[in-house]
Amino acid sequence: MTSNKPISNHTNAGPGKPPVELDLSGFLYEAVDTAEFMDVSSWKSVFDEIPVDPYIKEGYRYKSIGWFRVKHQMAGAVAEIDEHIKTVNKLSGLNDVESSRYLSTSKPIWHSDETGYSCWHLPQYAMQQSILYNPVHGGMRREYSPIGTDITNSDDFHKLLIQYATFFGWGDAIVLVQFQRVDCNAARTGLPAVEGFHQDGNRHVGMLVVNRNNLAADSGVSQYVMDDNGKKTDELIFNAVVPAGQLIFWNDKRVWHYGTEIKVADASANGGRGTRDIIIMSAKIPPANTPMGPVPVQFKQNSI
């Protein structure tokens, strides 16, 4: 995989030296223009195929997810990641041979000669968050369909994962990727964050806005406030609509995040519907929250 643009402003990731982790003590958030390294517009139609989220009874959210391991060739494997993968694979009914395909000692599905990062596409684990991070769905095992392989096998998807890895400079991590649409119409708004202001138990998070279609200009606003010893403060440190094509990273330990409700701009356009399509990436590095549940039965054949 090659690129004419530098992958990241923070680290000079290369195959011959280990990455250097970004010092998070002074980092809150930063935006990146993805036009420098990928074509987000080509993914707009993908969101039309994402199934409705069965855990939102109002029906305004659609979601598909994928689990990946991203590791640099010069970084040591995190033993806790291998152990966690083995444990969840055993609970999923995988034998030792099948499970070994997803460990750091196995061959990755792709490798970047430019940066030294490799990737393993992990089984289609369920999501199983703690109530500490998700008061609405915490403790519930949620099963979502996989992101299409036409996306996950694409160069642009690989570049997106590498952009995230090199920005923060980690050596080894499990990455949860969520493709998510929220829609609205004249009779109903949509809620991007049903939990309200929250944190997710990660070191950091990345959100890429792929498309905003027929939305009121002042709706779907991303808002951040500071953390104060585990409690949310009140002063907004970020309060803006993130435009399509922009990837924003934030420090999940120091920032609480929220997205205001979305409202349709023109009830006579687009069938009266407005949509906001985003991709959320969160790296799981122990002891961070790693909400991996066993692979649902209906996804085992395709993910093993």
If you compute the radius of gyration of the chain from its CA atoms, what whole number of angstroms results? Answer: 19
Taking 90 as the threshold, does the pLDDT of residue 6 lie above it?
no
Q: 104-133: per-residue pLDDT in tens?
A: 999 999 999 999 999 999 999 999 855 544
302 versus 55: the higher-pLDDT residue is: 55
The predicted model scores a pTM of: 0.92
Q: How many CB atoms lie within 10 A of CB 215?
A: 23
Residue spans of the domains in the chain: they are: 27-291
| Predicted local distance difference test score (pLDDT) of residue 164 | 97
- DSSP 8-state secondary structure symbol assigned to residue 225: E
**Complete DSSP assignment for 271-286:** GGEEEEEEEEEEEE-T
Confidence of residue 15 (pLDDT cuts 50, 70, 90): confident
Helix (H, G, I), strand (E, B) or coil at 209: strand
CA 43, CA 156: separation in Å to the nearest integer?
10
Query: Which CATH homologous superfamily contains domain 27-291?
Result: q2cbj1_9rhob like domain (2.60.120.620)
pLDDT tier at 268, thresholds 50, 70, 90: very high
Nearest to 201 by CA among 134, 135, 102: 134
The answer to whether 153 and 116 have CB atoms below 8 angstroms apart is no
Distance CA 37, CA 9 (A): 12
The pLDDT of residue 141: 86
Which pLDDT does position 200 carry in this prediction?
87
pLDDT confidence of residue 165: 97
Statement: residue 1 has pLDDT above 90: no
CA dist., res. 63 & res. 56, Å (int): 10
Strands, DSSP E only, in the chain? 29-33, 61-72, 110-111, 117-121, 126-127, 172-185, 204-213, 222-228, 231-240, 246-251, 255-259, 273-284, 292-293
Has residue 157 got a pLDDT over 80? yes
Residue 153 has pLDDT above 90, yes or no: yes
Res 4: pLDDT? 32
How high is the mean pLDDT of the chain?
A: 91
